[in-house]
């Protein structure tokens, strides 16, 4: 009887609209997104998620930990790969919580000054504020 082939690693690929990319081979992947987290091992059941902000951590076969923030994107899990498509990717130190707080305040000010009839614009700004708030939470939890 032949031995069953089992996967021991997954390919991790992350692409952003800003042109920054991350890729590697991992034995474990963790995605702490919005209000939930998922761990991925080789041969994981296929799944698909949408998130505002996430901390993505993957452990390479030699035990090295890679970590970054992913903003506004999608996570697709297959048995042999983890694919993440996002608006932007940040390495630790590339973005400060103070910068995101400032962006949120500017968006809130814009929202407050928007005329009532601009419903579509209001909804868009509210969604962006919500995403930035999730990003701020992730940045704050990561820097503890």
pTM: 0.86
Contact 28, 41 (CB under 8 A): yes
Q: How far apart are CA 35 and CA 14, in angstroms?
A: 21
Mean pLDDT by 10 residues, the chain (144 residues): 70 96 95 93 94 96 94 96 96 92 95 88 94 92 62
| Model pLDDT, residue 107 | 94
3-class SS shares of the chain: helix, strand, coil, % to 5: 30, 40, 30
Cα angle value 101/38/8 (rounded, 5°) = 130
Q: Residue 143 in 3-state DSSP?
A: coil
Q: How far apart are CA 96 and CA 56, in angstroms?
A: 17
């Amino acid at each position: 009887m032949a031995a069953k082939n089992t996967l021991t690693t997954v390919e991790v690929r992350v692409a952003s609209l800003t042109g920054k990319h991350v890729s590697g081979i991992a034995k474990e992947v963790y995605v702490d997104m919005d209000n939930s987290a998922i761990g991925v091992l080789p041969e994981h059941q296929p799944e698909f998620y949408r998130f505002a902000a996430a901390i993505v951590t993957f452990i390479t076969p030699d035990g090295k930990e890679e970590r970054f923030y992913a903003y506004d994107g999608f996570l697709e899990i297959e048995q042999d790969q983890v694919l993440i498509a996002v608006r932007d990717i940040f390495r630790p130190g590339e973005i400060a919580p103070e910068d995101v707080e400032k962006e949120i305040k500017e968006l809130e000010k814009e929202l407050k000054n928007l005329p009532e009839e601009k419903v579509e614009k209001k909804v868009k700004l509210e969604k962006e504020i919500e995403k930035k708030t999730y990003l701020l939470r992730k940045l704050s939890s990561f820097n503890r």
